[in-house]
Structure 1
Amino acid sequence: MNLILDFPAILERWPLFLDGAWLTLQLALIATLLGGVIGVVGAMGRRSSNAVLSRICTIYVEGIRNTPLLVQIFLVYFGLASLGLKFSAFTVAAAALTINVGAYTTEIIRAGFDAVPRGQIEAAEGLALSRAQIYWNVILWPGIEKVYPALTSQFVLLMLASSVTSQISAEELTAVANYVQSDTYRAFETYILVAIVYVILSLIMRAGFWALGLVIFPRRRRLGTPL
């Protein structure tokens, strides 16, 4: 049996793939920004001396990390609907991805905070720096710098995981692929093309994080290791 590939039939629908890729990047960008904020706040909460706050953050992290992303998406999608709240599939997808990546980011950043030597914190206290100054200058940025490569990898994985949101009709890249292959009956060619696009998107994101690392971490820039 000969396999005959017909890529022109797929490529002529390039505007659909372009729209899907753009929406995938939008989802990734929104979830990365909001998830990063949640990660910082959650990491601070987990290290807090307030037992209640620390326990709440721990429950959030463990609950998200031990349940499938698809289940979380359905919980947000159908949970909001059951409350009478109607949002677009894009909004629900962005919210679910943000909640998911926020938990993983919390653990990564917490590890970065814990990696800051205690002696540096004590030295800052000896200089009579305020708690806010210590957190900002001694813990937050040095801690994030230590785990920046892990953070960037997590955010790229988030972009790839956004394909699951096609299950709630978010019109991202995988949803477009599903439509195209059902219309053309060229599933193999369609998913080969989509796989290539995902590789390109991953490279674009990694290049963006590399450039960001050059800007926000001067020491890494001098060492030539922004990622």
Structure 2
Amino acid sequence: MGRRRNNLDYVFDFSFLESFRSEIISGVRLTILLTVVSILPGFALGTACAVGRLYGPRWLQTAVTIYIEAIRNTPLIIQVFWLFFGLAVLGARIGPFNAAVIALVINTGAYSAEIMRAGFQAIPKGQLEAANCLAMTRRQIFWNIQLPQAAELVYPALVSQFILMMLATSIMSQISVEELTGVGYQVQSITFRGFDVYLVIAALYLALATMLRLCLHGAAQLAFTRLRRLRTPL
């Protein structure tokens, strides 16, 4: 009888890193690009939706509520497939990168809307009444009182949501966007070193998430005086 191989004899082999270094770096860059171009417009969309849901006319509140509930209660991958494959059936073709960005922006917007809505609702009404007594316009109240305080109050939650969106870029490999996970698929199919490859990919995602958190923490220290004074961790 042949000797049974012990699973503990597995030997790690990361030699593929040298052979596929350029592809991995390209995947990291594309992941960062998807994150940046999705977070900023997504936050702006979410803030606009939060304002519309709180202060807009009834029809706008209904439309925003439908959008938020529809996006938050369907998988991101289904939304991506609908944009990439579904619209193509209707004759509206969208490239993989554009479909990925649109899906991420729409998704980020829906989640950011609820986070920002909570921030707006947490502002004491006395501050708004005082601003009205000072004859401040609605626009001045929003830009100088509501928006800064709301963003500061919910900033830790926004940071967590943005990191989740960065990790969600891995789904875009399903529509042939060659971000980090997509590169991992390709490397694994060539080297057959799945455990080693995905260990490296996981380490890179961990590094990217840490870098993003540090960048957002630095932005908070510059933008929010209270967080800077209290040194509140994100």
TM-score with structure 2 length normalisation?
0.94
Distance between the aligned counterparts of 1:99 and 1:79, measured in 2?
Answer: 16
Report the alpha carbon displacement of residue 49 of structure 1 after superposing the two structures with TM: 4.3
Report the alpha carbon displacement of residue 219 of structure 1 after superposing the two structures with TM: 2.4
Report the alpha carbon displacement of residue 5 of structure 1 after superposing the two structures with TM: 1.6
Distance between the aligned counterparts of 1:226 and 1:16, measured in 2?
Answer: 35
1:61 to 49, 68, 81: 68
2:224 to 198, 205, 217: 217
Report the alpha carbon displacement of residue 214 of structure 1 after superposing the two structures with TM: 1.2
**SS of corresponding position for 1:55:** helix
2:141 to 134, 140, 162: 134
1:82 to 84, 89, 107: 89
1:176 to 165, 183, 188: 183
Distance between the aligned counterparts of 1:11 and 1:207, measured in 2?
Answer: 28
The residue that corresponds to 1:116 in the other structure is 123
Measured on the aligned residues, the alpha-carbon RMSD in Å equals: 1.2
Where does the alignment leave 5 or more consecutive residues of structure 2 unmatched? 1-5
Q: Is 1:98 paired with 2:105? A: yes
Distance between the aligned counterparts of 1:197 and 1:224, measured in 2?
Answer: 28
Report the alpha carbon displacement of residue 81 of structure 1 after superposing the two structures with TM: 1.4
TM-score with structure 1 length normalisation?
0.96
Q: Is 1:26 paired with 2:16? A: no
Distance between the aligned counterparts of 1:101 and 1:70, measured in 2?
Answer: 14
**SS of corresponding position for 2:123:** coil
1:4 to 8, 11, 25: 11
The residue that corresponds to 1:14 in the other structure is 21
Report the alpha carbon displacement of residue 183 of structure 1 after superposing the two structures with TM: 0.5
The residue that corresponds to 1:189 in the other structure is 196
The residue that corresponds to 1:206 in the other structure is 213
Contact 2:83 2:94 survives alignment (8 Å) = no
> Identity over the aligned pairs, expressed in percent?
45
Distance between the aligned counterparts of 1:71 and 1:10, measured in 2?
Answer: 32
Report the alpha carbon displacement of residue 225 of structure 1 after superposing the two structures with TM: 2.3
**SS of corresponding position for 2:55:** coil
Where does the alignment leave 5 or more consecutive residues of structure 1 unmatched? none
Distance between the aligned counterparts of 2:18 and 2:117, measured in 1?
Answer: 45
1:28-43 alignment to 2 at 5 Å?
28-43=35-50
